[in-house]
Structure 1
Amino acid sequence: MSDSIKHECGIAFIRLLKPLSFYQEKYGTSLYGLNKLYLLMEKQHNRGQDGAGIATIKLDIKPGNRYISRYRSMEKNAVQDIFSYVMKKFADVEKQDPALLNDPTWLKENVSFTGEVLLGHLRYGTHGKNSIEACHPFLRQNNWMTRNLVIAGNFNMTNVDELLQQLYDLGQHPKERADTVTVLEKIGHFLDDENQLLFDKFKREGYDNAEISQLIGNHLNVGKILKKSAKSWDGGYTIAGILGHGDAFILRDPAGIRPAYYYQDDEIVVAASERPALQTAFNIKIGDVKEIQPGHALIIKKDGTVTEEIFREPVEKKACSFERIYFSRGSDADIYRERKKLGDLLTSKILDRVDHDLEHTVFSYIPNTAEVAFYGLVEGLHSYNRKKQRDALVHSRNNLTDEELDRILKITPRVEKLAIKDVKMRTFITQDADRSDMVAHVYDTTYGLVKRGVDTIVALDDSIVRGTTLKQSILRIFDRLGPVKIIIVSSAPQIRYPDCYGIDMSRMGEFVAFDAAIQLLKERGMQQLIDDVYTKCLAQADAPKEEVINHVKELYAPFSPEEISAKIAEIITPKEISAKVEVIYQSLENLHEACPNHLGDWYFSGNYPTPGGNKVVNRAFMNWKEGKNNRAYL
């Protein structure tokens, strides 16, 4: 993606089902869980570079001994920093007595982070200050083991105000206005309730307090707690949690917006945001990895019992399509095929735009996430070319000369790497006056491949958000090569609406497609529609989210996608370049064909999977109209 955006976080969860001695004997280390947690997090480092954290819980620890350990980091290489901190503890043990490293009982009793339940998190902040307090896992502490709660997640709630009010009504006083705090405290509240109900029950039955503590741990109904906690949540979420005594859960929103995968056998239960991370870390086949179903929670009791239970009634599945286009790593087999399909489906539209002239067109891509889609486009081009060659040979078979045969066979798509991303350029810090010139050199190009004044460049990007990098860098660099035309192609449709489920796209003014629609309205004397839409949004500002309509769709309705694409091409074209610039976008229909199991397309279509989405998009538009650069949700 030429315009990088911050996005979803990642989770990694491990529950060891055997005693630590089992892993020491079978794998030669009592640190099996920690080693695997490190792998799971490293294999998902693309999901968070603003910080990371881990937490572990030891099972069956005697009172008075520490059983919860947590460490978070905001260092540039946060995962490495965390595990360097943790592993130093074991290095110190080795210095003391190397034999102790092979004694799992001693390690569990004396060294932190040697627990059987492990939770890791990678953070991508979507707003506000990036501080250590914002890094997961979050911890809610209590002197009763079964009231302790650790959570980490990939989520964003659209109705934080509503959730906060519910906490106020319960008599609570949350320390900040953040969805992480509201989720933690909501689950914590019902966890406390369940603890109290069980305590009172067993007290009536004549048990003493020490016995009751054990009984509560055995009888806690995690599914019931989650059902009560999530009743009013509106958003996209995958949330993992651990209770102090060892029960654990991973839950997924009813529309399946955020991803969640798991694997279990007789040794482990593991979960992560991305399937390939599980496959790689545990060397398991793709068919053995399961997806947590929307509206379900994977619940792992302290005794090792694993169930998948409904906590919210599932709705139509709207799994995030941006995961498939851009965010998730392309090493997932299905994602790889889908990205190739996205490229392939653009072939005919691109060929029409260049008049099927392969001889004078150079095909390339914007590094690096568009690469797989480009492979699909190249396959589509070669398929077209083979058919064209076959037809030419069949048509000319009776009078085909050697020269004509050579000419037909010589034609092939010209595929080159024209854009080169110079990552080092991003490390420079300059004054604002110099910044634009520096941005223009983030990318470089390969010279000598384009025929000046003759060729057209077609460059595939996976998506276009703002178009800033295209205008400031890529188009200018391509123009130096002397093409007659530059066609920028997006494997995703036009991004028209904000996200409110974990991606950092919350401001209408950041979308070049929105800018194009506004400019078209003004040019055609239709600016009254802008005021009308604002009035409608304002009228619904305080309405219940279930009653709100996405009025921003009306701003795009007068124009075809092609008209908006043409205006986008004008907007992103630098004044000083000579080549004509055109833009081609993927269609929604093709997106759904390529990613049939991930139909969440609200950023393209405006069709939000939860009621809170409509409230957010209207607020985002009102903020733009009022000149506020605020995020459209808390």
Structure 2
Amino acid sequence: MTVAMDTAGERWRATPFDQDEGDTLHEECGVFGTVGMGEAAPLVALGLHALQHRGQEAGGIVVHDPERGFNSARRFGYVRDTFTSEDVMATLPGPVGIGHVRYSTTGSKGATAIRDVQPFFGEFAMGGAAVAHNGNITNAESLRRDLIARGSIFQSSSDSECIIHLMARSMATTIPERMKDALRRVEGAFSIVAMTRTKLIGVRDPLGVRPLVLGRSGDGHALASETCALDIIGAEFLREVEPGEMVVANLDGTVTTHRPFEAQRPRFCIFEHVYFSRPDSTLGGRSVYETREAIGVELAREAPVDADLVCPVPDSGTPAAIGYARASGIPYGMGIVRNQYVGRTFIEPTEQIRNMGVRLKLNVNRALIRGKRVILVDDSVVRGTTSRKIKEMILDAGAAEVHFRIASPPTAWPCFYGVDTPQREKLLAATMSEEEMRAHLGVDSLRFITLDGLYRAVGEAGGRNAAAPQYCDACFSGEYPVEPADMVSRGFRLKAAE
């Protein structure tokens, strides 16, 4: 998460949510690293390319070479446009490297924000180290105030930089031990890929909120946010890094594991199954694609409706729509087509083009839609602005009826663990009932999968254990497994306080 200091310099706050992209939840980061697999930088660039869906604004790579030491590159834009040239790769030699992609819709943008692009690097008495972090430190403000008061000088506005400063203040004699000391003071969610001159280090927070996996190729090893990033470099998936575990892979091919934290009941982010992870990845031994199909099947059981066509809102609604169609017996069709060549960097030179909005990215297949009762399947509803525009496009194309089916429960609470979400009052489900949302969107019906139904679809046959939830589902339930200390100190009201 990126934060900005107010003019008095006394308090840190999240900057306003980006209204242009404010109707979609964004996972803010993806991390990747390799050791002992040959030249690291090209492999890291490939891994980051596979993780581009987790961060599309900027990326960074740090490597180490025995002769040339540590080198780094940070760039704005897509990996394919910034880390594929021979000139860039020539500056990044060495067999150890890590990388990070960032999707920040908060914080400053432009040239001044390059300082926030990870990985972050620090030089310690026992040598240098770089750290890339996926997640969010929920006590970063208090940590930062304390560190600054003790003389630390920050170079970025990122919460992740706190880790480097905490490591610098540790008295431990090795980088892994200093990292353990640092992370014991950190609250929130973190999946970390770090490196020294000869080691690749991966750590997950005790709850395992954000994903991290370990792979192997020959005598070398890789760490990644998702298994799809291992696939692209031809690495074998070994296992997930366990919640609360530190894995250290060395240049000589050895791997050691450590347990720096007290054991806790895991609370992996359930929305990774719904949307964030790529459908060709696996989570918890399950295919993400098959899980999303199962969500659609469960949604069809919970919320049937008479209709002529099941249509996904591409691309995130596609597997769930296929599952819904299969379970309901209603034909599936691509009633909406995505323009794959329009992204967030599309130049919008005129007000007329800006007002086209969703039509720049999505177009209705009129021949398929005309005269039909259409079920639109999407992954979530955040502010509802995109859903309303899609509904209008479907009706303009001649649909007889429009029914929304949503493959997640109502998103009524913001995430503080590494997902960019609006303030709570801007979340449609925070201020409206399901029927009020239906009327607001102007559709014939609107149904969300229940929280129990979502749990069943991801493999929990008995549904959600209300006394001890198996996943982090705070964005749906308002039950935060780690109190967002900084936000509470700034006035955020937890569910229990309402």
- The TM-score bracket by the shorter chain reads 0.7 to 0.9
Pair 1:184-2:164 in alignment = yes
Unaligned runs of 5+ in 2: 1-20, 461-469
Query: How far 1:504 moved relative to its partner?
Result: 0.7
TM-score by length of 2: 0.84
Q: Is the 8 A contact 2:59 2:117 kept in 1?
A: yes
CA distance in 1, matches of 2:325, 2:187: 41
The CA distance in 1 between the partners of 2:310 and 2:205, in whole Å, is 40
Contact preservation (8 Å) 1:275, 1:289 = no
Q: Which of 131, 137, 141 is 1:151 aligned to?
A: 131
Whether the aligned pair in 2 keeps the contact of 1:7 and 1:126 (CA below 8 Å) is no
Structure whose CA Rg is larger: 1
**Partners of 1:314 and 1:55 in 2: CA distance:** 32
Specify the SS of the correspondent of 1:141. Answer: strand
SS of alignment partner, residue 83 of structure 1: coil
- Matched residue, 1:49: 56
Report the counterpart of residue 526 of structure 1 in structure 2: none
How many residue pairs match? The answer is 456
Amino acid at match of 1:225: R
2:322 match: secondary structure: helix
TM-score by length of 1: 0.67
Answer whether contact 1:136 1:151 (CA < 8 A) is retained.
Answer: yes
Match of 1:35 in 2: 42
Shift of the 607–338 alpha-carbon distance from structure 1 to 2, 3 Å rule, reads same
Query: Map of 1:130-279 to 2, 5 A cutoff?
Result: 130=109, 131-141=113-123, 144=125, 146-168=126-148, 170-175=150-155, 177-190=157-170, 193-195=171-173, 220=174, 222-243=175-196, 245-264=197-216, 267-279=219-231
Note if 1:14 corresponds to 2:16: no
Q: Is the 8 A contact 2:322 2:332 kept in 1?
A: no
Query: Is the deviation greater in 230-239 or in 177-186?
Result: 177-186
Shift of 1:170: 4.2
How many Å apart are 1:52 and its aligned residue?
Answer: 0.8
**For 1:445-496, what per-residue CA distance to the aligned partner results, in whole angstroms no more than 9, with x for missing partners?**
12244564xx42111011111110121x211111124444311110011000
Q: Which residue of 90, 95, 104 maps to 1:125? A: 104
Higher helix share: 1
**What is the rounded CA distance, in whole Å, between the counterparts of 1:502 and 1:88 in structure 2?**
29
Determine if contact 1:136/1:152 at 8 Å carries over to the other structure. yes
Residue 67 of structure 1 corresponds to which residue in structure 2? Answer: 69
2:293 and 2:320 in contact (8 A); partners too: yes
SS of residue in 1 equivalent to 2:444: strand
Offset, 1:433: 7.1
The question of whether the paired residues in 2 share the 8 Å contact of 1:263 and 1:269 is answered with yes
Query: Whole-Å Cα distance in 2 between the matches of residues 84 and 150 of structure 1?
Result: 23
> How much does 1:71 deviate?
0.8
Check conservation: 2:217, 2:234, Cα contact below 8 A. no
CA positional deviation for 1:126: 4.2
Q: Quick one: which of 335, 344, 349 aligns to 2:297?
A: 344
Give the CA deviation at 1:292. Answer: 0.5
2:336 to 419, 424, 427: 419
- Residue by residue over 1:230-280, the C-alpha shift from the partner in whole angstroms, topping out at 9 and shown as x without a partner, is 12211111112223x423311111110110000236510111000122134
Taking the aligned partners of 1:229 and 1:185, their CA distance within structure 2 comes to 8
Structure 2 partner of 1:443: 362
The Cα of 1:620 is off from its aligned counterpart by 4.7
Question: For residue 502 of structure 1, what is the amino acid of its counterpart?
Answer: G
1:585 partner amino acid: F
Partner residue of 1:332?
Answer: 281
Could you say which residue in structure 2 is the equivalent of 1:507? 423
Quote how far apart the aligned CAs of 1:176 are: 5.1
Is contact 2:325–2:331 with CA below 8 Å preserved after alignment? no
The residue aligned with 2:17 is: none
User: In the alignment, which residue of structure 2 is the partner of 1:373?
Assistant: 320
User: 1:4 is paired with a residue of what secondary structure?
Assistant: coil
Q: Secondary structure of 2:221's match?
A: strand
Q: SS of the residue aligned with 2:278?
A: coil
1:282 alignment partner in structure 2: 234
Number of the residue aligned with 1:469: 386
Structure 2 Cα separation of the partners of residues 223 and 428 of structure 1: 45
Q: 1:14 to 1:440 in 2, by over 3 A?
A: closer
1:291-310 equivalences in 2 (<5 Å): 291-301=240-250, 304-310=253-259
CA distance in 2, matches of 1:425, 1:328: 21
Distance 1:248 1:418, change over 3 A: closer
Counterparts of 1:447 and 1:177, CA distance in 2: 47
Change in Cα spacing, 1:424 to 1:147, as seen in structure 2 (3 Å) is closer
Match of 1:582 in 2: 445
Q: 1:323 aligns with which of 266, 272, 289?
A: 272
Q: Give, in whole Å, the separation in 2 of the partners of 1:474 and 1:2.
A: 15
Conserved in 2, the CA contact under 8 Å of 1:72 and 1:82?
Answer: no
Aligned to 2:458: 595
Per the TM alignment, residue 172 of structure 1 is displaced from its structure 2 partner at its CA by 2.9
Structure 1 residues 373, 83: CA separation in 2 closer, same or farther (over 3 Å shift)? Answer: same
CA distance in 1, matches of 2:269, 2:457: 13
SS of structure 1 residue aligned to 2:268: coil
Shift of 1:585: 0.2
Instruction: Name which of 605, 610, 613 aligns with 2:482.
Output: 610
CA RMSD, aligned part only? 2.8
Q: Which structure 1 residue ranges, 5 or more long, are not aligned?
A: 18-22, 24-30, 90-111, 196-219, 355-359, 383-412, 517-563, 574-579, 623-634
CA distance in 2, matches of 1:246, 1:441: 47
The 1:2–1:420 alpha-carbon spacing in structure 2 relative to 1, beyond 3 Å, is: farther
Contact kept, 8 Å, 1:126 with 1:503, in 2: the verdict is no
Q: Is the 8 A contact 2:41 2:89 kept in 1?
A: no
Aligned to 1:569: 438
Q: Which residue identity does 1:226 align to in structure 2?
A: M
Deviations 1:544-569 (A, max 9, x none): xxxxxxxxxxxxxxxxxxxx111111
Q: 1:223 to 1:87 in 2, by over 3 A?
A: closer
Residue 275 of structure 2 aligns with an amino acid whose one-letter code is Y
**Distance in 1 between the 2:88 and 2:157 partners?**
35
Letter of the 1:571 partner, please give it. Answer: H
C-alpha separation between the residues in 1 aligned to 2:281 and 2:441?
33
Query: Structure 1 counterpart of 2:162, which letter?
Result: T
More strand by share: 2
Equivalent residue, structure 1, for 2:403: 487
Secondary structure of 1:282 counterpart = coil
